Every structure is written in structure tokens, then in C-alpha cells.
Structure 1
Amino acid sequence: MTQLIESIVRPLVDHPDDVKVTHQQNERGDVYQLTVHPEDTGKVIGKHGRVAKAIRTIVYAAATESPQKIHLDIK
């Protein structure tokens, strides 16, 4: 899942080397935290959050066979 998130986000940003995805498991389920360069935050979120929503939709669809709930936090 980490590679999927990175492969979606890297082409969208100006600083692809600063894209980092970390994975944690907690009471919420599987939590993936996406961190990008501060200048790229707006590109990843998009106007009215549309890009972030699209990324989350793809990630959640890819995880349909996972028994755990998956969350994607963007910072």
C-alpha cells in the first residue's frame, strides 16, 4: 500500500524525493501518513480537497480485501 500511495503522489509534486509514507497500526486500524514538501501540500490536497479525496478513494478501493480499516492522513 505504501508503494501505491507513493506512485500516485510522486508525479503530482515538484519535490518527489520528499514524499514519505509511514505505516502504523492502532485502534483506528491501519493508518498511513503521507508527508510531502511544504510547497507541495496544496498540490496533494487540491482545490476543495478534491485531489486528496481521489487519492483516498483509490487507496480505500485497493484495500477492500483487508480486514482492517485503513486511514490516510496527509500532512
Structure 2
Amino acid sequence: MKALVELIAKALVDHPDDVCVREVVQGRTVVYKVSVHPDDVGKVIGKQGRTAKALRTVVSGVAAREGKRVSVDIL
């Protein structure tokens, strides 16, 4: 799952080497914290948060098939 989040984030940005995804377990939920280069934050979030929402939707869909709960935070 972490690899999927990282792959999608790297495809969106101009500085793919600066993408860092951390996995934090909080109870029954796994939180993926995505940090990117300061110039790329807007690209990952998108207009009115649409890109970030789409990323969360894809990851949540994959997690649901595996019976897991996930969350994606963009830093």
C-alpha cells in the first residue's frame, strides 16, 4: 500500500526524489504521511483539493478490498 501511495505521488510532482511516504499505525487505521518538495505541494493537493481527494479514494478502495482502514495526510 505504501508503494502505491509513493508511486502516485511521484507521478504527480516535478521533484520525485523529494517524495517521502511514512506509514504510521494508529489503532486499527494506517496513516500514510506524504511529504513533497515545497514547490510541489500544490500539485499533490490540486485545485480545491481534488487531486488529494482522488488519491485518498484510490487508496481507500484498495484498502477496503484488503479489509483495512487507511488515511492519507499530505504535509
TM-score, structure 2 as length reference: 0.91
Q: Bigger shift: 62-71 or 50-59?
A: 62-71
1:5 paired to 2:5: yes
Per the alignment, do residues 30 and 15 of structure 1 end up closer, same or farther by CA in structure 2, a change over 3 Å counting? same
Distance in 1 separating the partners of 2:53 and 2:28: 19
Distance in 2 separating the partners of 1:8 and 1:61: 14
In structure 2, the gaps of 5 or more residues are none
Distance in 1 separating the partners of 2:55 and 2:67: 20
Percent identity between matched residues is 49
Q: Give every structure 1 segment of 4 or more consecutive aligned residues whose post-TM-superposition deviation is greater than 6 Å.
A: none
2:30 corresponds in structure 1 to 30
Distance in 2 separating the partners of 1:73 and 1:62: 17
Aligned length: 75
TM-score, structure 1 as length reference: 0.91
2:57 corresponds in structure 1 to 57
2:65 aligned counterpart, secondary structure: coil
In structure 1, the gaps of 5 or more residues are none
Distance in 1 separating the partners of 2:60 and 2:20: 19
RMSD across aligned positions (CA): 1.2
